[in-house]
Structure 1
């Protein structure tokens, strides 16, 4: 369904349906309830801001017809409106454009920037920032990167092409390599290529994912392990303090479970430098943007569904780069 309100400031309008088992409710009361129950509410989103939405005809049904404040919303009716994002800490890292053509925009996403709006991260997201920067509100990610992971991220520029590119990634027809920085563990490849396998499960509402018994659903190839040079070791220690010798691990996942690479590095090699979840869970309020997690989606290769040509994109983001 096409939204009856346009994208504004890079953000889609919100759509909420009154449940079938709910009693009819005034439109203004319904929207007030939706605002008051937001987990991350903007303090400025008060009664005056609520009324201003109705005065500007910015609370509508799925036909785009404005609701008056006293209009009764019936069960199974949709209501569309704009939420007011809460203030967010600016992400100090830069987004770099790797490639752009008529169909796609490929960026080098920095750490701490979510791919899409979710939870407390709304405006400080790659999608919103690139929509605002380019003026193209049709931009949509073809896939996602974890918020703390840097690297190659593909966005689709035209609505009619979204399905083709998103299906490509959903079917895992794209190949990726990642680079992780962690303590150097020698001998991991002494017996040839290493394949790390486990079963990883993630429960909604729980930050960490867990390894459980059962059939394998997460598989990662360790491609190479290279100790970092002294200059890079010094850069890492400037950011994180004294460290044992660090190494660059090149990883090629063939599955895409949540936090897969972070868990596999913890279990089969060493925790990724700067990882706030594995092995120790840190509070969100402790997040320090100056000490990022060192995991980069370095290369991405796929056959373009528009041209049928193989394309490869590479992140050139160096360690510690802003």
Structure 2
């Protein structure tokens, strides 16, 4: 998992920071044997090749060789590699940049940070590589399927001050979504509920209990049986907006997780989730300025059906 505060003993390579694994006490004869056991997706031959290239080191920067005896209580650093990775035919746009902050417009389908099948084709790695900013770190996240604004810290010394804004709910966020229109609902409305991870780890659901998710929903435009909604979350639970809209009988258009899972084929980008992180506003804890950022992206309404 990406951790910007982890010390690095290998340089960033093409925007990719080294990964780290802690070595516990155990029965392995060599550090190579431990790595093969702990990270089986990489074969023994691949680890040997990486070691020969000097791409596996300990926390002191000492190379790990295939013959090096096992030693616990170490941290080992290496570069994560993928045999295959989907190539995303989209580009992110830098909306704002100064010595402290960078704000980018993320396209649909692009993850913010490395994970799973994605490494180089992530917003963070692309920006670090393109701009040469090794210290760049996301202050918050949005879903891979969601487009719009993502805020990054440029300097580690001030990163904590900006992260505290989100933790203390001092950032005003609003999103736009295209979803069904229900004239019987009265807007604006406030949805408060308890959201937890469902049995399917990649989905969430509402359950009884004290609310931990809070969203205000309003209508901006109605076109036939669809509407453009303004969503203002107070909290930041995973999939919060998608779960709240679905619970109201307003599933966001082309949501492939809610109400049912319906993943499109690999490489099919024709039906993006109609959800956009439109705006961010906060008082800058470093400069004292009022910061307001607006996405330059637009949600695409579906084409009218023939005869409609």
- Structure-1-length-normalised TM-score: 0.85
Structure 2 residue 154 is the aligned partner of structure 1 residue 157: yes
C-alpha distance in structure 2 between counterparts of 1:75 and 1:123, whole Å: 31
Matched, 1:214 2:181: no
The 5 Å alignment of 1:150-299 reads 150-189=147-186, 193-202=188-197, 206-228=201-223, 245-283=225-263, 285=265, 288-299=268-279
* Structure 2 residue ranges without an equivalent (≥5): 1-5, 302-308
2:287 pairs, out of 283, 307, 316, with 307
Q: Which residue in 1 is equivalent to 2:23? A: 18
Q: What secondary structure is seen at the aligned counterpart in 2 of 1:168?
A: helix
Deviations 1:283-309 (A, max 9, x none): 475673121001001010011111111
Q: What residue in structure 1 maps to residue 304 of structure 2?
A: none
Match of 1:240 in 2: none
Point out where structure 1 has 5 or more consecutive residues left out of the alignment.
229-243
Q: Is the 1:18–1:73 Cα contact (8 Å) retained in structure 2? A: no
Q: Partners of 1:205 and 1:266 in 2: how far apart?
A: 17
Determine if contact 2:275/2:299 at 8 Å carries over to the other structure.
no
User: Using the alignment, how far apart are the partners of 1:46 and 1:63 within structure 2?
Assistant: 23
Is the aligned partner of 1:82 residue 2:62? no
Q: 1:148 aligned to 2:155?
A: no
Report the Cα distance in structure 2 between the residues aligned to 1:284 and 1:31, rounded to whole angstroms: 35
Deviations for 1:250-284, whole angstroms, at most 9, x for unmatched residues?
A: 01111111111101111114110110000011247
What's the offset of the Cα at 1:25? 3.1
1:9 aligns with 2:14: yes
Aligned twin of 1:94: 91
How far residue 204 of structure 1 moved from its aligned partner, in angstroms, is 8.5
CA offsets 1:159-217 (integer angstroms, 9 cap, x no match): 2122111222222210101100012222433xx53111211101586111011111111
CA contact (8 A) 1:91 1:289 kept: no
- The structure where helix makes up a greater share of residues is 1
SS in structure 1 of the partner of residue 288 of structure 2: coil
Deviates more, 1:70-79 or 1:149-158: 70-79
- 2 CA distance for matches of 1:296 and 1:145? 10
- C-alpha deviations, 1:59-84, integer Å up to 9, x for none? 21111111222111222222211121
Q: Aligned to 1:60, what secondary structure does the other structure show? A: strand
1:53 to partner: Cα distance: 2.1
Q: Which moved more, 1:160-169 or 1:290-299?
A: 160-169
RMSD across aligned positions (CA): 2.1
Aligned counterparts of 2:163 and 2:274: Cα–Cα separation in 1: 26
- Contact residue 92 and residue 289 of structure 1 kept, 8 A: no
